Structure 1
Amino acid sequence: MTPERPDPVPSPASSAPTDAPASPAPSATYRLQLQPDFPFEAAAAAVPYLASLGVSHLHLSPVLEAVPGSLHGYDVVDHGRVRAELGGEEGLRALSRTAREHGLGLVVDIVPNHMAMSPRHNRALWEVLREGPESPWARWFDIDWQAQGGRVLLPVLGAPVGEVLADLRVDGDVLRYHEHAFPLREGTADLPLPRLLDAQWYRPVWWRLARTELNYRRFFSISELIGVRVEDPEVFDATHGTVLRLLREGVIDGLRVDHPDGLADPGAYLERLHRASGGRWTVVEKILADGERLPAAWPVAGTTGYDALRHVDGLFVDPAGYGQLLDHYRRFAAPRADLGGDWAATVRHAAYQVLTHELATETDRLTRVAHRLCATSPEPALRDRAPWALRTALRELLVRLEVYRPYTTADAAAVVTEEAAAEARLAFAVPEEAGAVDVVRDLLLGRYGDGPDQVEFRTRFAQTASALRAKSVEDTAFYRYVPLLSATEVGGDPGRPAVSAREFHTYCARVQRDWPTTGTVVSTHDTKRSADVRAALAVLTQCPARWEDVLAEVARPGEGAPDGQAAWAAWQTVFGLGPADGERVREALLKHVREAGMHTSWTEQEPAYEEAVARFVAAGPCGVPGERVAALREALGPHVRANVLGTALVHLTMPGVPDLYQGTEHEYLALVDPDNRRPVDFPAGVREPDAGEKAAVSRAALALRTRRPEAFGDAATYEPLPADGPAAEHCVAFARSGRVVTAVTRLSLRLAEEGGWRGTTLALPPGRWADALVPGRLFEGHARVADLFADTPVALLERVDEARG
């Protein structure tokens, strides 16, 4: 059955600025991962409990129509409808009503960059494949019609087309291949199959051709997600009309924007969204490299919070101990420098590999744009540049980018530096050919104008850079360089995982000044390990010698480990996770080695190697030897506890709007997706009985945010509170607006080995301070840190009177 034709343009009111006033920023959000097994109705049932936690808004994963059965919702197929499997628009409205009855608002995740490449579900795409580039919907999708003979390459066949012709069949005006369905161009249904295939606006091909032949922009290297051209005003209106209407009607209150770096012009998109939404609270999933700043001109509240995650995690990493752990890792795993032995070399090697393999088609398209621009330019300096030289220059500059992408020509000057250009020129044997590097760099810097071709080149370069950074760092290097698994997290810097207290305070002061209502996170649907797993792993940096001794006992040579790096990652995984179902660990490790791509991969799986990994996990980390690792984790329990509670309290009280991922208000031990996307069983009442110490800390901090909103909002202040005494470095404390004080224990194992607090004090701001975690305790003046942490390794204080003279 042919899908319904989508409306090419929604009603004019859909893109008009909302009349409702911009709602205030949330005080705290709670992320729910919606899926068919956890629809709107289930979310509504959890509202009384979630409201009792003290959050102000629920944060929903994408709610628009997605591929049936999707567990995440980022594979949108229809922007005009709320997802039926979740309960449709009425279900969303019912959830909104229930939330508001309990004082909660809704923030919704939106996906502007891509849609599902599933013609039988994606009605707009169906029409493009049927009608070709003249379709009114062709402008929706980022398709290079000049490539592949003007036909869209569809990498869906299990083998070369000649080997699967028998599996292709015509069904009326539809071409079918197993579960796939494609529209037939008018008047072609009666043609013999080979001629019928040649007559379409698309070309079904062997899936392996996606690597080099694809002619549509996709999400990273995922061919099942096609890029959307929201830079076109009509496409923006059509893809945002429903969300904007729900904002206007008060059903939802704020937005989280998924992956803006894939867009042609993120700044212009966000400006249009800001106007259309009436300035609603909006955060963007922008991954900031160390030292990178969010563009100040973007009209958003800030990021989704991975920059905060890195700074919070880093507080609990011992820099000296990490160095020892790194040395042991290199001895144990014996990685080659560019395959996991050195961070910078690993990233560079991965970037070269990704450009020539996973992103070969994106590199080809960028090279074609560059060559066309040079060949047709009136500028003599651009002429006579061979495609191979331009390709080489592009490759050498792309692999040297240390951020996701430039946004303007000024950004390009900062990220495509002369130093990078000088290194790139060394790839050429003939100096004259190296001039291609200068041509590419000058085009990026806008030195040859802002004509359409120049803008397209800069846009393609930026989009390719974004995909390269994500694939080479997050999806490859993070799985090859594994001395400390907790450091290999989105936004992290495994080459320098530790963050000093001074760095943390500087970061927080800057957030409070520049982006006071930005999002902050420590666990998300995309984190490779939950915050509690990472907090446990960070303890290993305080006892690298003990970890080395345990591995010497359990990881003897020749006992089934497939390779040293996989074994190291497996042992750390079970230490961080604690007792767990072996199946969860096995699946996570198989994903790990496939992402690493050194012995097997998603597209070139090596069954013998993967079977060896599975056997090793079962017999070693999840077998009897794993009990020794479990014993070490139990012995280090008090220090794991200090990290877990410290991470939670810092996250909930630092500048910004904290986002709690589902279930993380109490102990939450999860690995990479899909392990971290399992539905959560929420209690039927408003509280969980005996929920544990972390839940008590979470509730107390959220209650304080509710009770003292002036201490945490955009007009609040942030003041570091240095401790004084021999163990001062182990106490990290700060005050919020002179009304709330947070204090946490840092590197508690090393603290214990050094003799404890030994008279260390913390000078509190003027006034009397009540302990929000242990009722009845009061502090004033110079508090002994040992007293602050007498019951728990963290303290949350609330001022209970005015300052004394």
Structure 2
Amino acid sequence: MDQHLPQARIPSATYRLQFNAGFTFADAERIVGYLHDLGVSDVYASSYVAAKEGSVHGYDVVNQTIFNKELGDEQSHQAFVDELSRHDMGHILDFVPNHMCIESGDNVWWMDVLENGMSSLYAHFFDIDWEPVKKELTGKVLLPLLGDQYGRVLEGGGLQLIFRDGAFFVQCNALQIPVEPRSYLLILQHRLDALKEKLPPEAGPLQELLSIETALQHLPLHTERDSEKMNERHREKEIIKKRLAQLCFDSAEVAEFVSENVMIFNGTKGDANSFDLLDRLLRDQVYRLSYWRVATEEINYRRFFDINALAAIRMEDQTVYDLTHTLLFRLIREGKVTGVRIDHVDGLYDPVTYLQHLQKSAWMNLRERSEGAPPEEGAEAIREEWARQYDEVLERDPGCKPFYTVVEKILMKGELLPEQWPVCGTTGYEFLNSVNGIFVASDVAKQFDRIYDRFVKRGSDFTEIVYEKKKLVMQVSLSGEVNMLAHQLNNIAEEDRLTRDFTLNSLARAISEVIACFPVYRTYANSASVRDRDVQYIDAAVSKAKRRNPAISGSVFDFLRDVLLLRSPERASEESRRDWLYFAMRFQQITGPVMAKGLEDTAFYVYHRLISLNDVGGMPGRFGTTLEAFHGQNLERYKNFPHAMIATATHDSKRGEDVRTRIDALSEIPALWQKQVARWSRLNKRRGSLIENARVPELNEEYLLYQTLIGAWPVGDVDDAGYEAFRGRIREYMIKALREAKVNTSWVSPNGPYEEAVVGFVDAILARAPDNEFLREFLPLQRRLSRCGFFSSLSQTLLKMTSPGIPDFYQGTELIEFTLVDPDNRRQVDYGRRIDALAELKRREQEEGAPRLLSELLEREDERAKLFLIYRVLNYRREHKDVFDGGEYLPLEAKGARARHLCAFARKAGGRMVIVAAARLVATLMPEDGGSPLGEAVWQDTMLLLPEGVGGRFRNVVNDAVIDVVSLDGQSVLPLAALFGEVSVALLESE
């Protein structure tokens, strides 16, 4: 690392905190000491810049330059940071560069756009198409805020004109939308003769009102783009508002006149003609209010996926970049933020350029922190020299990363992060699926295919489902975006005589089909060249689309491929080449949302072969992960991104990590599962309903429900209140799952009777009644799988803490938790219980010793066993950071009857080596009546084979147990019967 380049702080372990009004900076400050005791090195905070009032997640940002006031102020934030500093802990902040919430008056930039249109000083901040396909929207923004057709809402009094502080607004739901200032004339000139009759011509208030009207008439238009005119409009409109406010304050007659006009404009229910004035006023605005369903086809601002309330911002614009990062870079400069997580990086127009700018900006601020701010005189020259030095270092070492940065990015099978990205890795979705997959018996995939297909009475091909659901999403949610692309491609086709005969319809279909066949979320062309990997992805998608659509001329697909690969004709002009690149980059921004909505938010709720595989970043069509694949991915990460985050749960997970391990265990008992699920369905058949001669719930939905109950069922005895809370969570989950599936109901068109019938089925099968035979048969199997899941959760947790990468813990998951998809997994965490639990464990550890304490916790299936494991291993990891930070990764093998049930590897750095061993696939190791995967009867003759030259004695960091290395046929081995005599996980250091 160059001497001028600051060293990035590399975390040892991170802990994700979800900030909102219920968990503030002060709350975070209070638990810092607990997290430090647990072994966490860095707090990983959700976005805490200003968000929409009441936000529970912080992603609906309204202003990136200030703190969210619901979380605290500068002082409380400082106290939180000071507490981190006292414990030598870092702070990683989640930053949202892609979008902002536009359904809040606190988003002053968007409100300015709605008031001033193209002439707004912030018009270039948002990704708005001012010349869309629908010509009626030229120069306007579609606002799909209405719950019904525009005319019905208007005549129903749902839109109201209001006047405050010298300005007019339209009240729409809870939002007050500014009125374009020049259109004030429609209001102020209405019934003006009546006011003139009240006031003499020379009266000061009347003269002032007429002067205000003249000023409004001379105000530059909202379509003005000349910078001087824009500034004039911005300045003069504010002066006019102040004059009008003062006039109404000074003159009761004018105030009454304005108030009466507002009342007249607001019309009278039952009198349709009385709304003509307000309708005319609304037609003159720079926005068009519409029914929210209109957004599907006519939206002309880019959104976050299909969420109308979240409008994309143009981070590729330097002004936008500079302003939106003001607070972030200040916090970096002040040492209050030591790392950053970039949300939804695939939404950006040019991710690589953004990330390169981010590292450079962070380095400049870190340089200023270490050397002090340059003196005012000559500051610009000094910063230019710093930038030059950074560029020199970057040229010598293109992979240098002076600031810890990870990106939220989903990698598909075989996909790697682009090599040019200056990041430490992703936030860990790929590890989540990889590690979860080794607890699935991958060799029974075909059996589970048969079980699933027979139960639901149809065949299920996951690849086909994803294809169909991506097409569905493009039809019902994102057709406007696809149509926009089609028109852009049509304009390109028109430029060349060899392509001008391609019809708009054929181009639109080709685009839709290629996106539906796209194998990854997006590609990353941003210049005249395209990465080799991206060429492969585009070629594969076009080839598949061709095969699926023989009725569409292959030449249309070939043309689309050429444009995406930037293979423009030699005779093409520079302007034409720029058009091709612009289309390719826009195409890249759309494939990601289609994949996310089609795969994660639809297909995952339709395909239920084994739902523990249906998580973000996963492909449920693959039945688990082999040990070879798991080790291969760990080696790849060690080689390329050793400091990437590795997670087992996130705020976006479809179900909690401890829910998944219970469901994973089903894969080990296919025959029993088939028998039981068929039996349960017969028992519960009478509890279903018939709607239009169709069974409710459908068999596919019923199959999802049984797996969900196995995974989420609470441990131990639950009182009536707790049981009812659990049943309520299952009801809410099923409604969300049904709507996401978009088969029998949806968010767009909720099917009330169907949803009520499913909720009734849930209530009936979960009734605590003596005659509920289902529960009597369900609970024994659930308890067995629960114990399997308990031991698998410990193994999964150990593997996360010791594999290459930075282990990340989602809030609350240090105890066994059976959460489902959000909002269930975003409930407030009881930190008092966790603080008390850790204190009690530490006390008992001192008094009783780790072996006895842990054995008792395992025997009782105590949720605190996971907490104790994390505490022991993370503190060890922090003390021996070099081994895990960049230590070599060596997969280890086992030999013997139970060899397939072990995952093991070594980490080595310098002269130190540690060995990690964890039991897996424990359902077939454990007796049906309970028991545990421990001892000689379970592990028999199985041995862990050690690296050459390793011998002596080892201590298990988890419980302090000591085990001797033995020799078998000249090979150093550890007998698993001894290693797993008391606990099924081991982190071994040499004695």
Return the TM-score normalized by structure 2: 0.76
Query: What residue number does 1:317 align with?
Result: 440
Asked whether the 8 Å contact 1:185–1:200 carries over to 2, the reply is yes
Query: What residue number does 2:9 align with?
Result: 24
1:112 aligns with 2:97: yes
Deviation at 1:627, TM superposition (A): 4.5
Report the Cα distance in structure 2 between the residues aligned to 1:608 and 1:723, rounded to whole angstroms.
Answer: 55
The code of the aligned residue for 1:154 comes to: L
Deviation at 1:123, TM superposition (A): 0.6
Deviation at 1:578, TM superposition (A): 1.5
Deviation at 1:322, TM superposition (A): 3.8
Asked whether the 8 Å contact 1:113–1:262 carries over to 2, the reply is yes
User: Aligned pair in 2 of structure 1 residues 430, 586: CA closer, same or farther (>3 Å)?
Assistant: closer
Report the Cα distance in structure 2 between the residues aligned to 1:208 and 1:237, rounded to whole angstroms.
Answer: 35
Bigger shift: residues 605-614 or 615-624: 615-624
Query: What residue number does 1:565 align with?
Result: 700
Query: What residue number does 2:179 align with?
Result: 184
Alignment of 1:750-769 (within 5 A): 750-752=924-926, 756-765=938-947, 766-767=950-951, 768-769=953-954
Query: What residue number does 1:237 align with?
Result: 322
Deviation at 1:752, TM superposition (A): 4.8
Report the Cα distance in structure 1 between the residues aligned to 2:617 and 2:926, rounded to whole angstroms.
Answer: 31
Alignment of 1:83-98 (within 5 A): 83-98=68-83
Deviation at 1:364, TM superposition (A): 1.1
Which secondary structure does the structure 2 equivalent of 1:573 belong to? helix
User: Aligned pair in 2 of structure 1 residues 476, 418: CA closer, same or farther (>3 Å)?
Assistant: closer
Which secondary structure does the structure 2 equivalent of 1:636 belong to? helix
Report the Cα distance in structure 2 between the residues aligned to 1:35 and 1:290, rounded to whole angstroms.
Answer: 35
State how many pairs are aligned.
Answer: 774
Which secondary structure does the structure 2 equivalent of 1:416 belong to? helix
1:718 aligns with 2:889: yes
Deviation at 1:577, TM superposition (A): 0.8
The code of the aligned residue for 1:282 comes to: T
Name which of 660, 665, 668 aligns with 2:814.
665
Report the Cα distance in structure 2 between the residues aligned to 1:272 and 1:123, rounded to whole angstroms.
Answer: 26
1:695 aligns with 2:780: no
Alignment of 1:572-721 (within 5 A): 572-579=707-714, 581-621=726-766, 624=772, 625-683=774-832, 687-690=838-841, 692-714=864-886, 716-721=887-892
Report the Cα distance in structure 1 between the residues aligned to 2:759 and 2:686, rounded to whole angstroms.
Answer: 16
* Higher Cα Rg, which structure: 2
Report the Cα distance in structure 2 between the residues aligned to 1:622 and 1:653, rounded to whole angstroms.
Answer: 43
Report the Cα distance in structure 2 between the residues aligned to 1:583 and 1:37, rounded to whole angstroms.
Answer: 21
Deviation at 1:685, TM superposition (A): 5.7
Identity of aligned residues (%): 36
Bigger shift: residues 758-767 or 526-535: 758-767
1:396 aligns with 2:513: yes
The code of the aligned residue for 1:260 comes to: V
Report the Cα distance in structure 2 between the residues aligned to 1:711 and 1:321, rounded to whole angstroms.
Answer: 37
1:108-132 CA distance string (max 9 Å, x none): 0000011002251211001111111
Asked whether the 8 Å contact 1:20–1:248 carries over to 2, the reply is no
User: Aligned pair in 2 of structure 1 residues 133, 607: CA closer, same or farther (>3 Å)?
Assistant: same
Which secondary structure does the structure 2 equivalent of 1:743 belong to? strand
Report the Cα distance in structure 1 between the residues aligned to 2:746 and 2:839, rounded to whole angstroms.
Answer: 42
The code of the aligned residue for 1:728 comes to: A
Name which of 477, 488, 495 aligns with 2:603.
477
Which secondary structure does the structure 2 equivalent of 1:689 belong to? helix
Query: What residue number does 2:594 align with?
Result: 468
Report the Cα distance in structure 1 between the residues aligned to 2:105 and 2:7, rounded to whole angstroms.
Answer: 38
Report the Cα distance in structure 2 between the residues aligned to 1:689 and 1:329, rounded to whole angstroms.
Answer: 45
Asked whether the 8 Å contact 2:658–2:790 carries over to 1, the reply is no
Query: What residue number does 2:199 align with?
Result: none
Which secondary structure does the structure 2 equivalent of 1:660 belong to? strand
The code of the aligned residue for 2:543 comes to: A
Name which of 440, 444, 465 aligns with 2:560.
440
1:536-589 CA distance string (max 9 Å, x none): 100000012222222233221343151101111111101001136100011011
1:171 aligns with 2:162: yes
Return the TM-score normalized by structure 1: 0.93
The code of the aligned residue for 1:692 comes to: R
The code of the aligned residue for 1:509 comes to: L
The code of the aligned residue for 2:408 comes to: E
Report the Cα distance in structure 2 between the residues aligned to 1:728 and 1:111, rounded to whole angstroms.
Answer: 45
Report the Cα distance in structure 2 between the residues aligned to 1:203 and 1:681, rounded to whole angstroms.
Answer: 46
Query: What residue number does 1:736 align with?
Result: 907
Report the Cα distance in structure 1 between the residues aligned to 2:21 and 2:793, rounded to whole angstroms.
Answer: 31
Asked whether the 8 Å contact 2:519–2:537 carries over to 1, the reply is yes
1:671-729 CA distance string (max 9 Å, x none): 00000001111135693435621111111220121121111113x11001111222212
Asked whether the 8 Å contact 2:52–2:62 carries over to 1, the reply is yes
User: Aligned pair in 2 of structure 1 residues 426, 650: CA closer, same or farther (>3 Å)?
Assistant: closer
Asked whether the 8 Å contact 1:49–1:686 carries over to 2, the reply is no
1:457 aligns with 2:583: yes
Query: What residue number does 1:301 align with?
Result: 424
Asked whether the 8 Å contact 2:9–2:339 carries over to 1, the reply is no
Asked whether the 8 Å contact 2:634–2:803 carries over to 1, the reply is yes
Report the Cα distance in structure 2 between the residues aligned to 1:650 and 1:245, rounded to whole angstroms.
Answer: 37
User: Aligned pair in 2 of structure 1 residues 631, 33: CA closer, same or farther (>3 Å)?
Assistant: same
Name which of 470, 482, 491 aligns with 1:363.
482
Query: What residue number does 1:12 align with?
Result: none
Bigger shift: residues 665-674 or 736-745: 736-745
The code of the aligned residue for 2:614 comes to: T
Query: What residue number does 1:10 align with?
Result: none
Asked whether the 8 Å contact 1:421–1:438 carries over to 2, the reply is no
Asked whether the 8 Å contact 2:493–2:502 carries over to 1, the reply is yes
Query: What residue number does 1:514 align with?
Result: 640
Query: What residue number does 1:81 align with?
Result: 66
Bigger shift: residues 180-189 or 581-590: 180-189
- Any stretches of 5+ residues in structure 2 without a counterpart? 187-276, 364-401, 689-695, 715-722, 842-862, 928-932, 966-971
Asked whether the 8 Å contact 1:58–1:104 carries over to 2, the reply is yes
Deviation at 1:501, TM superposition (A): 0.8
Deviation at 1:190, TM superposition (A): 4.9
The code of the aligned residue for 2:284 comes to: A
Query: What residue number does 1:746 align with?
Result: 920
1:328 aligns with 2:451: yes
1:614-654 CA distance string (max 9 Å, x none): 01111115654245323212123442222111111111110
Bigger shift: residues 665-674 or 635-644: 635-644
Which secondary structure does the structure 2 equivalent of 1:504 belong to? helix
Asked whether the 8 Å contact 1:26–1:57 carries over to 2, the reply is yes
Bigger shift: residues 543-552 or 503-512: 543-552
Deviation at 1:513, TM superposition (A): 0.8
User: Aligned pair in 2 of structure 1 residues 332, 685: CA closer, same or farther (>3 Å)?
Assistant: closer
Which secondary structure does the structure 1 equivalent of 2:677 belong to? helix
1:544 aligns with 2:664: no
The code of the aligned residue for 1:549 comes to: K
Query: What residue number does 2:960 align with?
Result: 775
Report the Cα distance in structure 2 between the residues aligned to 1:622 and 1:480, rounded to whole angstroms.
Answer: 26
User: Aligned pair in 2 of structure 1 residues 430, 641: CA closer, same or farther (>3 Å)?
Assistant: closer
Query: What residue number does 1:347 align with?
Result: 466
Deviation at 1:421, TM superposition (A): 3.0
Report the Cα distance in structure 2 between the residues aligned to 1:428 and 1:773, rounded to whole angstroms.
Answer: 60
Name which of 133, 143, 150 aligns with 1:154.
143
